[in-house]
Amino acid sequence: MYFIDVILPIPLKQAFTYQVNRDEAVFLKRGMRVAVPFGKSKVYTGIVYGIYNDNPPGYDTKHIDQILDEQPIVTETQLKHWEWMSAYYMCTLGEVIRAALPGAFLLESDTMVGLRKDVSKHNIDEASEENTSVSESNTIDESEFTDDEFLVYEALQHQSQLHINDIRSILDRKNVVKVLEGLIQKKVIEVQEEVHEQYTPKLKRYLQLAPPYTSEEKLKELLDSLSRAPKQREVLMNLFMLSAQTKKPVDAILLQKKSNTSAAVVKTLVEKKILEEYLIQKDRVEYTGGAVSETKQLNEAQTLALSEVKTHFETKDVVLLHGVTSSGKTEVYVRLIEEMIATGKQVLYMLPEIALTTQLISRLQNYFGETVAVYHSKYSVNERVEVWQNVLESKPKAQIVIGARSSLFLPFSNLGLIIVDEEHEPSFKQYNPSPRYHARDSAVVLGNIHNAKLVLGSATPSLESYHNSETGKYGLVRLTKRFGNVLMPDISLIDIKEKHRKKLMTGHFSDTLLEAMREAISNKEQIILFQNRRGYSPVVECTTCGVSPQCPNCDVSLTYHQYKKQLRCHYCGYHMAMLRSCMACGSETLDTKGFGTEQIETELNHLFPDKVVARMDQDTTRGKNAYGKLIERLENEEIDILVGTQMLAKGLDFRNIGLVGVMNADTLLYFPDFRAHERSFQLLQQVSGRAGRTEKRGKVLIQTYNPHHLILQQVSSNEYEAMYKQEAEERYQYKYPPYYRTIRITFKDKSYDKMDKASIWFGRALEQKLKEHVLGPETPPVGRVRNLYITNVLVKIPKQQSLAKTKGYISNVQRSFNTIKEFSTVRVSIDVDNY
Ligand code: ADP
Ligand code: ZN
Ligand code: ZN
């Protein structure tokens, strides 16, 4: 008898045992996928974890359905890393695998598949439009199908999606996973639960004279006819001059700049059909070849930083690169990458959110051409599987991988360098679902397994990483000046309490901010305004009885969104039409308190009616590519003033931002979380860092009711060190990271009572051994979300106490807890190093 242990992507236990025959046992290797039956009618795809020929487990085993791979798709190194993850973050290997493998590798009975959109369109259109060329859609060659593939393809012509179990009955057999994989590979079907946004190509605008005017004579006539439109004339003269040398269409922004005019004037000329507009595709993600440029010559500070990094690497594996915004960290990474790939090794470049980094992707592709691959969970199934295979086979075209946190699961075999950029970003921590891993910390372990070096980079390092550099665990390298003699922005605090008293506020704008905005505008500079709340005004309150409308599912007040005239819950998405009168007392005295991005936008439209105002928050960036378009408009200087939430803070490099305004810093400072001060410092510094990235010194104005708050003082004087010392002291005193580790255990239930009892039981059990290091249960700021009551127990672990033993103890308590019938509905989740 032969058996294999299989890891299934479910949170039940580490591995499940199945039977195989002798041939299968010989063929199979760890890391290959098999399709296996589970329960009464389910099928799962799992990873082979062990193969042996006696020692049957104490229960009846089923035979596997099918072997899916000829070679392992998961390597031993990956398994090692994932075992660490499962142990460290207290989850099953199956949960890690679910997070690690692209969905297309894990087909199972619940998976829904459908025809790919480009395919179905082609086929439907075929009847009506005869033989239109379908360059966009992918043409299917039905003759390449196997019989089974054809049957599935045909079924999907009639039904938009099918369950794997449906397909089993269509094909009248159990083993269908391989058939579906074939169809995925042939780009016919896709897994439907996938939400993916494809990146549309970035378009660059060019202009040229419309054909009727190209002769000198006609142009002269045209210029004469425009004698009363001097601005338009100016544009044409400039166009003529610019294209005289190149005879090519002219970059629209360049033209606008040279003519010293607005986008509106250019637009008028296009509308009058005097100019022709070209949109030339500048691919963001897919590299289409072209000249690869030399890396930049480093300046003195960068050269020094680079050599310091390398010196540290002689004795340490991790270096923290603390470089102020725009100091040229990226160029230092680029040099390290260059040297690493020359040795033939792989490089992983991690970023907090890939959608935010189109700028970086083109920068790296510019240097490294097609060796750069991009990996992201929002990519389509095929793209992800492709990158996976390329990395697995150590192909040159995936030698450098740029990705968000999930990229650390790729099958690297020869990793030499990992860069974690913006290492302080909380979005490196996955909150839900399990594994609740921190990608930066997991990358350090990954580096360890590969014997690779790591650079963590940030202008505002996390307290954890900075602490590690203080203790000597990480090397520390600094870049204290911006590249090219650009000054750090000039940051001032504005006391809006006083401004209110002196009646110097217009809506939410102080006179100082308005004045600075007018100045920036007259200098033709763009402005960014930061308001860390979306919506019109967070809370609607009745001034008669004081009641404000609440979400029925969560313990929060609903937020007013003016654009849709709705009240919305930011936790569960519940929404209703804005009320006319108070639900409690019927009075019509509803007032709005606080303010969000939308209200700022409205105020701006009144204050600056002839300027283009845009808004960047979760509501305006939901749609496909909406984010990219906003960035592009900003880059193209089609936006004068951009209002946004913290999305603005993330590593964007714009050339023409003269002023950054923070509408109200106080909401950040008083957030109930032990990291609130650190976060405020980071966010405000990062937002400020968007200002003045060219020669002219940028200006930052921060409005606040508490101008004497220590953190704001430190932000305005750029004192990271002081902030670090102060915060570290508090963390030490109150027993928080980096001095103590924390594990948060969350309890959720529909019944308040059960949630309460369960958490108390669990907390007491923990206290028996962990004593005063158990805190709570304590209700979080929002105590009910989606109809589930929530409470937390926090375990603090001092440095000298064994982490593994503590976790072992928590697991034991959880096992006993799980046997208690009364608590069977209570959902327990464990978050190690919680954020
Ligand atoms: P950071 O990553 O520290 O925010 P960047 O690497 O984005 O800084 O650099 C800021 C700006 O300075 C970018 O526009 C970049 O192109 C430019 N820059 C940085 N280093 C150099 C260099 N050595 N030569 C020319 N330009 C540079
Ligand atoms: Zn009322
Ligand atoms: Zn809600």
608 CA → ligand 3 middle, Å:
35
The ligand that comes nearest to the alpha carbon of residue 584 is: 2
Strands 784-785 and 827-832: unpaired
Atom of ligand 1 nearest to the CA of 327: 3
695: its two tokens: 């020669």
557 CA → ligand 3 middle, Å:
9
CA atoms within 13 A on the CB side of 72: 16
787 CA → ligand 3 middle, Å:
8
The ligand that comes nearest to the alpha carbon of residue 458 is: 1
Which backbone phi and psi does 311 adopt, to 5 degrees?
-65, -45
**What are the CA-CA distances from residue 698 to residues 643, 689, 691, 716, 748 (Å)?**
17, 9, 5, 13, 47
Range 490-533+597-729: architecture per CATH:
3-Layer(aba) Sandwich (3.40)
The whole-number pLDDT of residue 499 equals: 93
Residues of the chain with CATH 3.40.50.300: 300-473, 490-533+597-729
DSSP string, 107-132: --TT-EEEE-HHHHHHHHHHHHSTT-
Band (pLDDT 50/70/90 cuts) for residue 378 is low
> Is the CB of residue 69 less than 8 Å from the CB of residue 33?
yes
541 CA → ligand 2 middle, Å:
8
Flag whether pLDDT at 551 surpasses 80: yes
Atom of ligand 1 nearest to the CA of 325: 4
Residues flanking ligand 1, CB < 6 Å: 296-299, 302, 323, 325-331, 483, 653
Strand partners, 784: 789
The mean pLDDT of 556-581, rounded to a whole number, is 82
408 CA → ligand 1 middle, Å:
26
Strand partners, 203: 281
User: Which three-class secondary structure state does DSSP give residue 615?
Assistant: strand
- Pick from 114-123, 655-664, 700-709, 746-755: least confident: 114-123
Which backbone phi and psi does 492 adopt, to 5 degrees?
-125, 150
The mean pLDDT of 69-87, rounded to a whole number, is 95
Flag whether pLDDT at 218 surpasses 60: yes
Rounded distance, CA 398 to CA 365, Å? 12
Rounded distance, CA 335 to CA 297, Å? 10
Task: Tell whether the torsion through CA atoms of 794, 800, 803 and 807 is positive or negative.
Answer: negative
Atom of ligand 1 nearest to the CA of 479: 3
Q: Between 629 and 448, name the one with better pLDDT.
A: 448
91 annotated ligand-binding residue? no
Mean model confidence pLDDT for the chain: 85
Rounded distance, CA 828 to CA 762, Å? 10
The mean pLDDT of 666-674, rounded to a whole number, is 78
Atom of ligand 1 nearest to the CA of 297: 23
CATH 3.40.630.30 fits 300-473, yes or no: no
Flag whether pLDDT at 130 surpasses 50: no
The whole-number pLDDT of residue 463 equals: 96
Q: Residue with the nearest Cα to atom 5 of ligand 1?
A: 328
Rounded distance, CA 474 to CA 309, Å? 11
The whole-number pLDDT of residue 249 equals: 73
Flag whether pLDDT at 668 surpasses 90: no
Write down the CATH number for the domain with range 740-832: 3.30.70.600
> Is the CB of residue 350 less than 8 Å from the CB of residue 447?
no
The mean pLDDT of 127-136, rounded to a whole number, is 36
Q: Ligand 1, residues 298, 304, 330, 657: which to mutate, most atoms within 8 A of Cβ?
A: 330
Q: Residue with the nearest Cα to atom 21 of ligand 1?
A: 328
Q: Between 124 and 766, name the one with better pLDDT.
A: 766
- Pick from 76-90, 187-201, 807-821: least confident: 187-201
pTM of the model: 0.79
The mean pLDDT of 563-578, rounded to a whole number, is 82
Extract the runs of DSSP E, i.e. beta strands, from 606-708: 613-616, 641-644, 657-662, 699-704
230 CA → ligand 1 middle, Å:
38
Band (pLDDT 50/70/90 cuts) for residue 282 is very low
Band (pLDDT 50/70/90 cuts) for residue 334 is very high
The mean pLDDT of 543-571, rounded to a whole number, is 80
Q: Which residue has the tokens 């051994």?
A: 769
Q: Residue with the nearest Cα to atom 4 of ligand 1?
A: 326
Residue 607: CB partners within 8 Å, gap ≥ 6? 506, 507, 509, 514
Strand partners, 832: 743
Rounded distance, CA 368 to CA 373, Å? 10
Atom of ligand 1 nearest to the CA of 298: 23
Q: Ligand 1, residues 324, 325, 483: which to mutate, most atoms within 8 A of Cβ?
A: 483
566 CA → ligand 2 middle, Å:
18
**What are the CA-CA distances from residue 53 to residues 5, 24, 25, 57, 79 (Å)?**
11, 11, 8, 11, 22
167: its two tokens: 């397909």
Query: Per mean pLDDT, which of 7-16, 194-203, 697-706 is the most reliable?
Result: 697-706
Q: Residue with the nearest Cα to atom 23 of ligand 1?
A: 298
pLDDT 10s digits, 241-279: 777 766 667 888 778 888 888 888 888 888 888 888 776
330 CA → ligand 1 middle, Å:
7
pLDDT 10s digits, 442-484: 999 999 999 999 999 999 999 999 999 999 999 999 999 988 8
Band (pLDDT 50/70/90 cuts) for residue 124 is very low
Flag whether pLDDT at 347 surpasses 70: yes
Atom of ligand 1 nearest to the CA of 689: 4
Task: Write the single-letter amino acid at 242.
Answer: L
The ligand that comes nearest to the alpha carbon of residue 305 is: 1
Rounded distance, CA 774 to CA 788, Å? 23
Name the region of 833 (left: φ>0; alpha: ψ -120 to 50; beta: rest).
left
The ligand that comes nearest to the alpha carbon of residue 551 is: 3
Q: Residue with the nearest Cα to atom 20 of ligand 1?
A: 328
Q: Ligand 1, residues 653, 687, 688, 695: which to mutate, most atoms within 8 A of Cβ?
A: 653
The whole-number pLDDT of residue 382 equals: 67
Residues of the chain with CATH 3.30.70.600: 740-832
DSSP string, 746-805: EEEESSHHHHHHHHHHHHHHHHHHHGGGEEEEE--SS-EETTEEEEEEEEEEETTS-HHH
The whole-number pLDDT of residue 651 equals: 58
- Pick from 6-10, 172-176, 488-492, 829-833: least confident: 172-176
Atom of ligand 1 nearest to the CA of 299: 23
Atom of ligand 1 nearest to the CA of 324: 3
576 CA → ligand 2 middle, Å:
18
Q: Which residue has the tokens 């979400």?
A: 551
Angle, helices 803-818/752-770, rounded to nearest 10 degrees: 140
User: Which three-class secondary structure state does DSSP give residue 249?
Assistant: coil
Rounded distance, CA 277 to CA 250, Å? 10
569 CA → ligand 3 middle, Å:
5
Please, what's the b/e burial string for 336-363 (b: 16 or more CB within 10 A of its CB; e: otherwise)? bbeebbeeebbbbbbbbbbbbbbebbbb
458 CA → ligand 1 middle, Å:
14
| Residue closest to 777 by CA, chosen among 741, 753, 806, 811 | 753
The ligand that comes nearest to the alpha carbon of residue 572 is: 3
Angle, helices 439-450/76-88, rounded to nearest 10 degrees: 140
548 CA → ligand 2 middle, Å:
8
Rounded distance, CA 388 to CA 106, Å? 14
Band (pLDDT 50/70/90 cuts) for residue 176 is confident
424: its two tokens: 């302080």
Q: Between 803 and 156, name the one with better pLDDT.
A: 803
644 CA → ligand 3 middle, Å:
23
Task: Write the single-letter amino acid at 695.
Answer: E
- Pick from 95-104, 316-325, 756-765: least confident: 95-104
Q: Ligand 1, residues 326, 480, 686: which to mutate, most atoms within 8 A of Cβ?
A: 326
The whole-number pLDDT of residue 641 equals: 94
Q: Ligand 1, residues 331, 362, 480, 652: which to mutate, most atoms within 8 A of Cβ?
A: 331
> Is the CB of residue 324 less than 8 Å from the CB of residue 479?
yes
**CB-count burial class (<10 Å; 0-12, 13-18, 19+) for 34:** buried
Q: Residue with the nearest Cα to atom 16 of ligand 1?
A: 328
Extract the runs of DSSP E, i.e. beta strands, from 392-467: 400-403, 415-421, 453-458
The whole-number pLDDT of residue 199 equals: 34
Task: Report the 3 state secondary structure along 366-388.
Answer: HHHHHHEEEECCCCCHHHHHHHH
The ligand that comes nearest to the alpha carbon of residue 652 is: 1
Atom of ligand 1 nearest to the CA of 459: 3
Band (pLDDT 50/70/90 cuts) for residue 575 is confident
User: Which three-class secondary structure state does DSSP give residue 224?
Assistant: helix
Quickly list H helices, 393-538. 439-450, 463-470, 496-501, 511-522
Atom of ligand 1 nearest to the CA of 332: 6
| Residue closest to 78 by CA, chosen among 301, 388, 285, 294 | 388
Rounded distance, CA 748 to CA 756, Å? 9
Q: Residue with the nearest Cα to atom 25 of ligand 1?
A: 296
CA atoms within 13 A on the CB side of 224: 6
Q: Residue with the nearest Cα to atom 18 of ligand 1?
A: 328
Band (pLDDT 50/70/90 cuts) for residue 408 is very high
pLDDT 10s digits, 284-314: 344 445 556 777 889 999 999 999 999 999 9
